[in-house]
Chain A
Amino acid sequence: MTIRFEDPNRPNSYIGRTVPRPNAGRLVKGRGRYVDDILLPRMVHVAFVRSPYAHARIAAIETSQAKSLSGVLAVFTGRDLAEVCTPWEGRLAHLEGMKTPPQHPLAVERACWVGEPVVAVVGRTRADAEEGAAMVEIEFEALPAVTDIRTALDPETPVIHEAFGDNLCFRKTNEKGEVDRIFAEAHTVVEESFKTARHTGVTLEPRVILADWSEAEGEMTVHVSNQAPHMLQVLLASHLGIPESGVRVICGDVGGSFGVKVHVYPDEVATAAIAKILGRPVKFSSDRLEAFTSDIHARDHEATGRIALDETGRILAFDVDDWTGIGPYSIYPRTSAVEGLQVTNLIGGPYEFDHYRCRTSVVFQNKGICAQYRAVGHPVAVAITEGLVDKAAAQMGLDPVEIRRRNLIRDDAYPRTTAAGLKLEALSHHKSLDALIEAMDYEALRSEQASLREKGVHRGIGIASFIELTNPSPFMYGIGGARISAQDGCTVRMDPDGSVVALTGVTEQGQGTEAITAQIVAEAVGVSPGMVRIVTGDTRVTPFGGGTWASRGAGIGGEAALQAGRAVRGQVLAVAAAMLQANAKDLDIRDGIVVDAGTGAERMPLAEIGRIVYFRGDTLPKGLPRELMQTRHFLTSDYPYAFTNGVQASYVEVDAETGFVKLLKHWCVEDCGRIINPLLVDEQIRGGIVQGLGAALFEEICYDEAGQLLNGTMADYLVPMSGEMPDMIIRHVETPTAESELGAKGAGEAGTAGAPAAVMNAINDAIRPLGGSVTHMPFTPERVLRAIGAIGK
């Protein structure tokens, strides 16, 4: 049986419809249960003493004063925890030559960034623990800090990890064709330098973990705000010496994640280790300063790039040299090399060309650790690509739309492998661009821009095409030896009254996992979504899976749910056929009732099947299978990734006197394959766009030359607020993947991938007549004014 997606009036047609999220009604009443809301008997709190130095040797630690406080129960140093917890190294075997040193839950000999946890203080209350932390005295001997990216490998720069001999974590060049010859002979060559600012996820709920060790049961129960419970289960088990089945990770309500909460953090592992030592529940709840210093950062890239074109404006080659600083350690277990690696894969992704070179140099620094954050590497690659394309268009006198029409890969040219080596199944760049032009009424906008320019109003239109990596296979992490699952599973169970419970390995952080899983299972089984209850985020009960990252929930978890629901349907119909003395092929389930497939005539409610199977199984033929609980797992295998595509446009107004950029409107056309819930997809895109707009205009983690963090508060680190954000028009093209029956690809990162480039191009379109351009994010008023020469360089 296949689903006739093209027929919106088919029975049980829940896939493709906007249905409300089952968990939204609870959250809007303030009935969420986030980790910090959980109180356990005998629970204590841990606070961390963190390094105030970017790089320092830990000479001595004096804890007696802290221990003397009545509310302080215990104090732990790095050496204490090293006895119960093994260190880790964020390396992937397939990233050749990658280096990173062992990392402990608490720094042992050296602290390597401002905010690295050094001592843990356990108190009866959070205030007690913090008071104790303030009494710990650590004698630091300051060491030279490495903070600059471009000079990190210079011989005179100190080496952070002496055994390595240099500060290089990883370097890779992705090259194809005759790049040097093409650039030497090309009609037009355009060069530019780009910077994407180091920024961070700023989840509204900071990281939080509550770990409880029961020695009697040999079980560690961990409530944690995290995206990947099974990953954390196996890693905590490994480093704390507990069988995997003895670690239960529960991720209930998660207050935003965006990649911030998919990593192993030293303070969280320390909390679990302390719980194991103390044998009682221990909670760590990060405050906002700790979030800024110890959550992962991302996008700290500087690049120079050039593009070669022939006389008709056809792109011939890209050549990019990307540098990125990742802090002192590569993140565990995903590594901090993947962002740079993605840049080498994604540059030029939407375009047709044969000659390609992109090198990334991933260097260590004494700053916070950089790692995977929403749209890993994509905003960097898209900004470089689309910045170069627009600059070339301007130089050649081509309209930005026209140069894209000439160069985007044709919609009928798939499958294909790009010059960078990406295998693309089916994309729709031209259809998407057409839809964008129509949605924004491009010509009218250009005339408005021209007439306003005559009045001294500087408006600009920026366009950015992009591809997005979704539905990753084991080629992303598993191949490198990381215990990160690319497959996912779903168990669907029919209860006696015909209602359904589905347990899925993908997780919910508000994007709508529960809603889409309910829709899929409802359609697959043949009940209404309201009859389906979803369970996520508990490693004790859900099938082993990867969780939610790389826009995999719908495409991979969704397909597992479809197949599991379909299997339950098959079992129900087999039982019904026996009871009705009918052929299962002639029966269907519609809205919770077994019907004749041909006529739709009602034969038997599911509740009757449930009653017989669970309470009067004796009346069924002996040996008749009647497992109304089925599990299916799904893994992509035809392609390493399901790439999606899209195009965004930004309309801005630049105030040439103040340098302020006003976002007037934003458009995105996106092709994420089969859409399961249109409203949720649109809101994923919108939320993603705004994170990209933050990157473009506001967000930058600032360190001084000594590695001190300068803006660790939300008053100093600017995030997008409602007042500055535009309304966003979202449109879709649907090119389902043939990899699965569901046909869904991911949609979570498209907005973030393309928005910064669209804004950059819009600003440059606005200020081009004034001279100058901006390519170093964020585009603050100061940078805009310097670009147009209103203030000195």
Chain B
Amino acid sequence: MTDTFRNRIDLEMTVNGEPIELTVPAARHLIDLLRTDLGLTGSHAGCEHGVCGACTVIVDGETVRGCLTLAAQLQGAEIWTVEGLTESGAIADLQKAFVERNALQCGFCTPGMLASAKVLIERDAVPSREGIREHMSGNYCRCTGYEAIVDAIETTLRGRAGGDAR
């Protein structure tokens, strides 16, 4: 480990709506900050190089890979993880659809799936199934075969487009 990575940095950020101040090693990745420093274990490390999407969280409104993002990049950032998205009710309809359609099995990919899907369901247009598949193609699921996930997202999109209550 080089000395640079031994340096510690002071961070202020908002995580799930709560202001956070902490000091972390400069080498700390966002996923480790969430899991290790903040105890937010809902987000998972799967491949640690940005391919599987298990660590996907929302930073300043965009999905990012927690394993590719250094905490040092996030001074002042607003971060949402599955825990906060659950408590705020922002994706309650999506979560309900996932459960009803059995769009999760082991559940390890699910927090990342939900984060990726959140961005899609907040768009105005309802994409085709191919569009949903394309949007979700950065999130790996070994259990479901994806069809149930696509169905659950489609159901949520339709519900929102139809003005259904969440």
A residues whose Cβ falls under 8 Å from a Cβ of B: 20-21, 23-25, 27-34, 36-37, 127, 131, 201-206, 253-258, 287-288, 509-512, 679-680, 683, 686-691, 713-715, 719-725, 727-728, 751
CA distance A101 to B34 in the complex (A): 44
CA distance A720 to B141 in the complex (A): 8
Apart from A204-B46, A721-B139, 19 more pairs, CB < 8 Å: A20-B100, A21-B102, A27-B107, A30-B83, A30-B86, A36-B45, A127-B27, A203-B106, A205-B106, A256-B108, A256-B143, A510-B105, A686-B147, A689-B145, A714-B51, A720-B146, A722-B136, A722-B146, A751-B145
Beta-carbon contact of A719 and B100 below 8 Å: no
- CB of A717 to closest CB in B, whole Å: 10
CA distance A362 to B48 in the complex (A): 35
Beta-carbon contact of B129 and A727 below 8 Å: yes
Most buried by B among A30, A254, A721: A30
CA distance A203 to B46 in the complex (A): 9
Residue B79 interfacial (CB < 8 Å): no
Q: Chain B 23-46, CB within 8 Å of chain A: the 1/0 string? A: 000010000000100000111111
Of A24, A680, A721, the contact of B98 (CB 8 Å cutoff): A24
- CB of B151 to closest CB in A, whole Å: 9
6 nearest CB pairs, A to B: A30-B42, A27-B107, A510-B105, A255-B108, A30-B82, A510-B106
Residue B1 interfacial (CB < 8 Å): yes
Which residue on A lies nearest to B144, using beta carbons?
A687
CA distance A317 to B147 in the complex (A): 39
Contact flag A713-B51 (CB < 8 Å), given A28-B114, A719-B140: yes
Which residue on A lies nearest to B152, using beta carbons?
A28
Beta-carbon contact of B104 and A687 below 8 Å: no
Which residue on A lies nearest to B139, using beta carbons?
A722
Beta-carbon contact of A288 and B46 below 8 Å: yes
Contact flag A683-B142 (CB < 8 Å), given A29-B86, A204-B54, A510-B107: no
CA distance A552 to B146 in the complex (A): 24
Beta-carbon contact of B1 and A127 below 8 Å: yes
Q: Chain B at the A interface: mostly helix, strand, loop or mixed?
A: loop
Beta-carbon contact of B146 and A725 below 8 Å: yes
Name the interface residues of B125-151: CB closer than 8 Å to any CB of A. 129, 132-134, 136-150
Beta-carbon contact of B49 and A288 below 8 Å: yes
Beta-carbon contact of B110 and A27 below 8 Å: yes
Beta-carbon contact of B140 and A728 below 8 Å: no
- CB of B142 to closest CB in A, whole Å: 5
Beta-carbon contact of B147 and A728 below 8 Å: yes
Residues of B within 8 A of A679 (CB): 102
Contact flag A255-B106 (CB < 8 Å), given A204-B46, A722-B137, A722-B149: yes
Residues of B within 8 A of A253 (CB): 106-107
Beta-carbon contact of B146 and A690 below 8 Å: yes
Tally of B interface residues using CB under 8 Å: 52
Beta-carbon contact of A204 and B52 below 8 Å: yes
Residue B63 interfacial (CB < 8 Å): no
Residues of B within 8 A of A713 (CB): 47, 49, 51
Q: Chain B 75-109, CB within 8 Å of chain A: the 1/0 string? A: 00000011100100000000100111010111111
- CB of B51 to closest CB in A, whole Å: 4
Beta-carbon contact of B44 and A727 below 8 Å: no
- CB<8 Å pairs between A and B, sample of 23: A21-B102, A23-B107, A27-B107, A28-B107, A29-B83, A30-B41, A32-B107, A34-B44, A34-B108, A37-B41, A203-B106, A204-B109, A204-B142, A205-B108, A254-B106, A258-B142, A687-B105, A687-B144, A714-B46, A714-B51, A714-B52, A721-B139, A725-B147
Beta-carbon contact of B145 and A690 below 8 Å: yes
- CB of B23 to closest CB in A, whole Å: 16
Residue B66 interfacial (CB < 8 Å): no
CA distance A258 to B145 in the complex (A): 13
- CB of A666 to closest CB in B, whole Å: 9
Beta-carbon contact of A723 and B143 below 8 Å: no
CA distance A205 to B111 in the complex (A): 13
- CB of A712 to closest CB in B, whole Å: 11
- CB of A128 to closest CB in B, whole Å: 9
Beta-carbon contact of A202 and B142 below 8 Å: yes
Beta-carbon contact of B148 and A683 below 8 Å: yes
Beta-carbon contact of B137 and A723 below 8 Å: yes
Beta-carbon contact of A30 and B111 below 8 Å: yes
Which residue on A lies nearest to B134, using beta carbons?
A723
Residues of A within 8 A of B129 (CB): 727
Residues of A within 8 A of B134 (CB): 722-723
Contact flag A29-B142 (CB < 8 Å), given A20-B99, A721-B137: no
CA distance A25 to B97 in the complex (A): 11
Most buried by B among A24, A258, A509, A720: A24
Beta-carbon contact of A683 and B48 below 8 Å: no
Contact flag A28-B41 (CB < 8 Å), given A204-B52, A511-B105: no
Residues of A within 8 A of B143 (CB): 256, 510-511, 687
Which residue on A lies nearest to B87, using beta carbons?
A29
Residues of B within 8 A of A204 (CB): 44, 46, 52, 54, 106, 108-109, 140-142
Beta-carbon contact of A28 and B108 below 8 Å: no
